[in-house]
Chain A
Amino acid sequence: MQPFIEMNKLNLYYGEFHALKDVSVQIPERAITAFIGPSGCGKSTLLRTLNRMNDRIPGARVEGRVAIGGIDIYSGEVHVESLRKKIGMVFQQPNPFPKSIYDNVAFGPKQHGIRGKKKLDELVEQSLRSAVLWDEVKDDLRRPALSLSGGQQQRLCIARALAVEPDILLMDEATSALDPISTFKIEELTHELKDRYTIVMVTHNMQQAARVSQQTVFFLNGEVIEHDATRQLFANPVDSRTQDYISGRFG
């Protein structure tokens, strides 16, 4: 497979703390790649370097190369806002804005200059359909987003991310705050989305990684321990630490 996101000798520091050590990972296009590893191993940090959300953290410093579609996103010419438009992100806690469902989904497109009710209406419907939320909310799009259930809120956040028409979707433990049924729905959804988007997900849940992803990367203390096709990594891990982690001996 053609690598779409390439990280080469990536190092990240929070002040003195060395959070990512010489990370080199290649992520294929239109597939789901899962980052697994114990808490604090740097997998969320790595996810946040992909859309440069770490720029907002004072004292964070990145060295090395991260290229998306061949373009180094840390070079001076890259416009951060345009980069983030191409990379949607879904967070651990559902975080819809305290606005209506419609305004939540239309927020991104509006910020990028899309005007006109008809165009926005279409985008909102299409995004909500992609996030399999349309049938549940189509009767009243003016409802406050915060009146939805947690699982619905998370799918709304996915719809909101899809509305800016990204190429990549980053999911930072997107199901860890949800009940099993909502989790299942979101997993099904990612399965459908992977034909159109490159998905990178961070998860604590190894069964989830095994169920939904095609590629899995195992992290420990800021280093990549093992990266392989998911089936291969779970069936025949090469490194003994991977073996220990996936069999539940630590983490």
Chain B
Amino acid sequence: MIDMNPSTNSKAPAELGQSFGKTSGSKFDRKARLRWSNQLFRMICIGSALFVCLVLLCILVLMLRTGVLTFSNVSLTEFFFSTNWDPENEHYGALTFILGTLALTSLTMLISIPISVIIAVFLAEMTPKWLRNLLRPVLDLLVGIPSVVYGFLGLTLLIPWLRNLSGHDLADGLLAASIVLTIMVLPTISRISDDAISAVPNKYRDAAYALGANRFQTVFRVVLPAARSGIMYAVILGMARAIGETMAVVMVIGNTAQLPNSLFTPTAVLTSNIVMQISSVEFDSTWNYGLYMMGFILLAISLLMIVAVRILQKKGGRYS
């Protein structure tokens, strides 16, 4: 800092250089204060980032620590490769639930991704403005509806309808659950995809139309590929919600620990099984530990899926 006292000003220029490094005497002059606040802000940012990682780590450790106690009484092979879940008789095979979760999530995504993307394209590219202004808030509201409500709708409207359609006595099962989940994740995926598609610069559309492409070609070969990473992100969010959804699933899946032989067979998934049993087990039992382990698996599946989608996105997004 340049010292502006008249006495120093009158000194030789060589000494002016020295005064740059000096503080003006006060302990908290501007330079020191700036350095201090910069450092502080940096520390807060790094601290926050570390804190988030720490929380994730703690959750993983907590679930895993209790979960691994399962394996003092149950072999790894039994837990992961047996479908016999009968804790009263000391059978702890969780394969049914793991497969159930994977199947339910895949089926849900299979139905919901195409529908959501079509809704998003419709909203972003084709709808007249007044309809768009009506539909967007409606979809946003749908995102916020409690999952129990969707469960009720599934229970009272969907299941009777599926019973008639399929001829089964009980229509609870993977199809009913995936339809309810589809309705739940549809607004999320379509609204975020809609935003991603709307954010594609108009210059790409101009270029495509000027080359004589029609609207279909422009949307599917230029706009959607350009919005790919945003749509991927929407899919991740939707998938995360589908994997972890409990209440709506419990109400329509049938809650029976058996491998389904059709889409209409009552079965169970990780979440539904945990929530149905956790309140009735002893605290220190293998059964309880088994449920914790299932919680950990659920966590691991959702983390892995997110990582997988990220990797896919990086590969596919080479040009974006």
Contact = CB atoms under 8 A, between A and B. Distances in A.
Interface of A: 51, 53, 56, 81-85, 88-89, 91, 93, 95-100, 107-108, 111-112, 144-146, 157, 160-161, 164
A107 B211 CA distance: 8
A111 B221 contact: yes
B203 A95 contact: yes
Given A81-B212, A107-B211, A164-B212, A95 B206 contact: yes
Contacts of A88: 210-211
B213 interface: yes
A92 B108 CA distance: 45
B209 A84 contact: yes
B207 A56 contact: no
Given A97-B222, A97-B226, A111 B212 contact: yes
A85 B203 contact: no
A164 B206 CA distance: 16
A161 B203 contact: no
B147 to A, nearest CB: 37
Interface of B: 201, 203-204, 206-214, 217, 221-222, 225-226, 318-320
A98 B205 CA distance: 12
A88 B222 CA distance: 18
A238 to B, nearest CB: 34
B117 to A, nearest CB: 18
Nearest to B201: A95
A217 B72 CA distance: 89
B210 A144 contact: no
A28 B284 CA distance: 91
Given A95-B203, A99-B225, A111-B217, A89 B210 contact: yes
B319 A53 contact: no
A111 B213 CA distance: 6
Contact of B319 (A51, A83, A108, A145): A145
B226 A98 contact: yes
Given A81-B214, A146-B319, A97 B209 contact: no
A111 B211 contact: yes
A95 B209 CA distance: 12
Given A99-B225, A111-B221, A91 B209 contact: no
A108 B212 contact: yes
Contacts of B221: 107, 111
Which of B207, B208, B211, B213 has the most CB atoms of chain A within a 10 A radius of its CB? B211
Given A99-B225, A100-B319, A111-B221, A85 B212 contact: yes
A85 B211 contact: yes
Contacts of B226: 97-98
21 contacts: A51-B210, A53-B206, A53-B210, A81-B214, A82-B212, A83-B212, A84-B211, A91-B207, A95-B201, A95-B207, A97-B225, A98-B225, A107-B213, A111-B208, A111-B211, A111-B212, A111-B217, A111-B221, A144-B318, A145-B319, A160-B211
